[in-house]
Structure 1
Amino acid sequence: MESSPPPTFRELLVVFARIGCLSFGGPAGQIGLMHREIVEDRRWIEESAYLRALNFCHLLPGPEAQQLATWIGWRLHGVAGGLAAGLLFVIPGALVMLLLSLFYAMATGQAWVAALFLGIKVAVLAVVVQALLRIARRALDTALKRVLACASFAALFFFALPFPVIVLGAGVVGIFAARLWPHALGRHMPGPDAPERRPLAAGISLTLRTLATGLVLWGAPMLVILLVLGPDHVLWNIGAFFAKLAVVTFGGAYAVLSYMAQQAVQVHGWLGAREMADGLGLAETTPGPLIMVTQFVGTIAAWRAPEPFSPLLAGIIGAALTTWMTFVPCFLWIFTFAPWMERLENVRWLQSGLAALTAAVVGVIANLSLWFALHVLFTRVAEVRSGPLHLSIPEWASLDWRAAGLALLGAVLLFRARWPVWAVLGVCAACGLVLRSVA
């Protein structure tokens, strides 16, 4: 199938505005939507190029669907096209998430809101378990991958090791495995590394300028906060945390949620475990990347420590700062490394490290599933420490029968009836309100 002529810039804007408003369903649905719109219907990009770009985006930290949208824009209209496509993919969901987060902050404490989010949280639990099973079936096709998944789960759940350590450790194992056991991570790894080719000096210079410009833009808000508010203000802590998060978010949104929840709830104390589950529920109901849940955390954290601003203004600033620190690196990675895409795809050790990391992500998502289950189904969860062990143990008498019943309903609708996520969320939310009225 031959490609169509490149679109005009206006056509690109119209199509990605549509994609940004309809990109529900998580990364799989978003990638499928772009494939239909860009490759199948309009033939602006060839199938092989689209798949190579998707593989390349899996190598990068951050949401792969948003980075793929940025790459499509860059491929069709350079940097301006990349900025337009990437922003239009994010902005609709960011605006909706901001409004929902502010509403949540204002309405916290009202009984009907708690009942509504009870249903949403248990539906999200079923969605996370579905993601775990789907990724595990695809990723754990060798014994070494299954070992890495179990090891990452144990490291998180039993020892509370930092997520970046697990990511780096899995990558190192994959790199060494590529040398020692060539087929331990699957039989579809690239062949031996291609001979080194020295890039053109002009290409290196352009890459370095792009990287330097992007880093300056990324850090500019943090410099303003440092000079105006100082390093002890909550906005500085928010910016620093999400800047670190942006460079370790390999494996998609579900992989990093465990680390974010651990830090935001247990370390920073910005919100509670059940509120973290509420935020994920809101992110599931909005278009755009699921990692937009970071904006919810930034909004609530700034709302609750607003000085010298009003809570509303602080919440908006916190949301904007979080979104900036989360998504600017996505543009930076694409504009810096896309020109070298084919070279990176053929580096054997890099692909092996990514395969090992993907296997470890299964264990990370399993930990997230169990963490959500404990804090959604039980009202009291004890944190027990004994030497290096760090366990979360529920008090069985605190089991919430309403949450357990709704969780079972959500699982049946999602796994047996195969309802779409948005329908399961809506039904469980409505049932939560009904249970409140009955109670």
Structure 2
Amino acid sequence: MNTPDLQPPIEVRTEPPAVRFRDAFIFWLKLGFISFGGPAGQISIMHQELVENRRWISERRFLHALNYCMLLPGPEAQQLATYIGWLMHRTRGGIVAGVLFVLPSLLILIVLSWLYIAFGNLPLIEGLFYGIKPAVTAIVLQAAHRIGSRALKNSALWTIAAASFVAIFALNVPFPVIVVAAALIGYLGGKIAPSKFSVGGGHGAAQKSFGKAIIDDDTPTPLHAQFHWIKLFKIVFVGALLWVIPMWGLVAIYGWNHTYTKMGWFFTKAAFMTFGGAYAVLPYVYQGAVAQFSWLTPTQMIDGLALGETTPGPLIMVVAFVGFIGGYAKAVLGPDHLFLAGAIAATLVTWFTFLPSFLFILIGGPLVEATHQDIQFTAPLTAITAAVVGVILNLATFFGLHVLWPQGWAQRFDWISGLIALAALIALFRFKRNVIHVIIACALLGLLAKTFL
């Protein structure tokens, strides 16, 4: 009796069902409320949900889109959400993903800004923020580990990441300079040693398989994501109208010297200064909002940054706080409409700050999609990803120093914040807890510490 040869089991990679627009809408809405931790934490959440759990997009396509967003002025995590939403569901998908990434943060900041300016220091809010800050530090550190473990596949990329960290932490090299240098290294490396700079290439290039993605490595670019000159001109024209109409309306109704008009023009310029993330533009915003226009005080600006760090959404949403405080304090609609004045100002500055981000994606997305298999373009972007790992680690270090030594380096160590940060790290790394669960638990710990200690 002949027995058949035993064959090794064949791995079956099942293709997930197509993403319904309704499902994507629900996910983007949820993301808008849980996107804590700055760009590093937000990108980490998207990677875990979209690449690992839901398999809506492959890791290679995800990283290629991320690399492009890293090159742009503006909040890279929000732009990445816009890009993926656009790739899956055309222009409406990109707009929905980008808007829902920002809208919850805007609403939350309007409420918190009103509580802040109208009622002064609230012990409840102060206690919650006290626990959230060390949790954010842990989340950013975890994000650096997650992205680094997947992006740094060989010694060349590790070297770029280390050099990036030293450059920004010890030498204070501007982030745009680091990006340009990494892109140049990647371009040259792609010609000299292409295997080192291919996405996932080099030693240890094998990646964990999450199964076949809906937008996989070899999935053809959909028709709506292909480049056409007519489509480009349409987007540019509509984008120009979306800026000109509200700006012209402000000038026509209030005049050029009104607070609302000045905010619109100032934050339009700020939108193009966010090359390198929110921290790159904060000195510019501080100089204009505090020193030039006196929309808020230096202390209020610092408190606004704390709110921006500890609420969902991109850190650049601190501009909503600046706008609200400026509109409220200047009483631009009269003393009987302070909240409305602040809310309108916050909405205006958010519009003018984020409008360019949508245009960058809708204009540049087709060009990026046309290059996702071309080593000439992917090698510089792979090197940029490695450099960004070093920048994210610097951000975690920055948060850690300011949270654990709030009075300055070499001063008293805040051991309560240290314990909360350690608990957050254990929850994230050891027990793989959800980010939002960690945020809530640490906020409650901070409130208890402020109440009883």
For the superposition of Structure 1 and Structure 2, which TM-score range results when normalised by the shorter chain? 0.7 to 0.9
1:259 aligned residue (271, 276, 280): 280
Shift of 1:369: 1.0
Give CA-to-partner distance per residue, 1:383-404, whole Å, 9 cap, x none: xxxxxxxxxxx1x233223222
Asked if the contact 2:332–2:341 (Cα under 8 Å) also holds between the matched residues in 1, the reply is yes
Indicate the larger mover: 329-338 or 220-229: 220-229
Larger of the two Rg values belongs to structure: 2
Distance 1:39 1:401 in 2: 41
Indicate the larger mover: 227-236 or 136-145: 227-236
Structure 1 residues 111, 341: CA separation in 2 closer, same or farther (over 3 Å shift)? Answer: closer
Asked if the contact 1:125–1:373 (Cα under 8 Å) also holds between the matched residues in 2, the reply is yes
What secondary structure does 1:183 align onto?
helix
What is the TM-score normalised by the length of structure 2? 0.71
1:239 aligned residue (247, 268, 276): 268
Asked if the contact 1:170–1:356 (Cα under 8 Å) also holds between the matched residues in 2, the reply is yes
Distance 2:240 2:349 in 1: 16
Amino acid across the alignment from 2:321: T
Unpaired segments ≥5 residues, structure 1: 41-46, 190-201, 250-255, 284-289, 382-393
2:330 aligned residue (276, 284, 307): 307
Give CA-to-partner distance per residue, 1:138-189, whole Å, 9 cap, x none: 1222222222222222222223232222222222222222223323424757
Asked if the contact 1:175–1:353 (Cα under 8 Å) also holds between the matched residues in 2, the reply is yes
Partner of 2:310: 281
Partner of 1:103: 115
Amino acid across the alignment from 2:151: A
What secondary structure does 1:300 align onto?
helix
Give CA-to-partner distance per residue, 1:198-232, whole Å, 9 cap, x none: xxxx9324323423432453466566668623799
The aligned runs of 1:168-247 (5 Å cut-off) are: 168-186=180-198, 188=200, 203-218=228-243, 221=246, 228-229=256-257, 233=262, 236-245=265-274
Structure 1 residues 34, 329: CA separation in 2 closer, same or farther (over 3 Å shift)? Answer: farther
Distance 2:413 2:136 in 1: 18
2:83 aligned residue (67, 72, 75): 67
Asked if the contact 1:265–1:273 (Cα under 8 Å) also holds between the matched residues in 2, the reply is no
Amino acid across the alignment from 1:323: T
- Does residue 76 of structure 2 align to residue 55 of structure 1? no
Distance 1:413 1:318 in 2: 39
Q: What RMSD over aligned residues (CA atoms) do the two structures have, in Å?
A: 3.8
Distance 2:53 2:136 in 1: 28
Distance 2:165 2:85 in 1: 31
Structure 1 residues 357, 322: CA separation in 2 closer, same or farther (over 3 Å shift)? Answer: farther
Structure 1 residues 179, 327: CA separation in 2 closer, same or farther (over 3 Å shift)? Answer: same
Distance 2:156 2:321 in 1: 40
Shift of 1:372: 0.9
Amino acid across the alignment from 1:241: A
Distance 1:57 1:146 in 2: 18
Partner of 1:373: 400
Distance 2:105 2:61 in 1: 27
Shift of 1:358: 0.7
What secondary structure does 2:444 align onto?
helix
Partner of 1:384: none
What secondary structure does 2:194 align onto?
coil
Structure 1 residues 259, 38: CA separation in 2 closer, same or farther (over 3 Å shift)? Answer: same
The aligned runs of 1:22-37 (5 Å cut-off) are: 22-23=30-31, 24=34, 26-30=42-46, 33=49
Asked if the contact 2:127–2:451 (Cα under 8 Å) also holds between the matched residues in 1, the reply is no
Structure 1 residues 117, 401: CA separation in 2 closer, same or farther (over 3 Å shift)? Answer: same
Asked if the contact 1:73–1:83 (Cα under 8 Å) also holds between the matched residues in 2, the reply is no
Structure 1 residues 99, 438: CA separation in 2 closer, same or farther (over 3 Å shift)? Answer: same
Amino acid across the alignment from 1:239: T
Partner of 2:133: 121
Asked if the contact 1:119–1:430 (Cα under 8 Å) also holds between the matched residues in 2, the reply is yes
Identity %: 27
Asked if the contact 1:178–1:349 (Cα under 8 Å) also holds between the matched residues in 2, the reply is yes
Asked if the contact 2:128–2:447 (Cα under 8 Å) also holds between the matched residues in 1, the reply is yes
2:428 aligned residue (399, 414, 433): 414
Distance 1:157 1:93 in 2: 29
2:28 aligned residue (20, 25, 30): 20
What is the TM-score normalised by the length of structure 1? 0.73
Partner of 2:362: 335
Distance 1:186 1:242 in 2: 32
Structure 1 residues 132, 404: CA separation in 2 closer, same or farther (over 3 Å shift)? Answer: same
Distance 1:435 1:6 in 2: 44
What secondary structure does 1:380 align onto?
coil
- Does residue 86 of structure 2 align to residue 91 of structure 1? no
Shift of 1:129: 0.8
Distance 2:448 2:282 in 1: 29
Distance 1:2 1:143 in 2: 34
Distance 1:53 1:420 in 2: 21
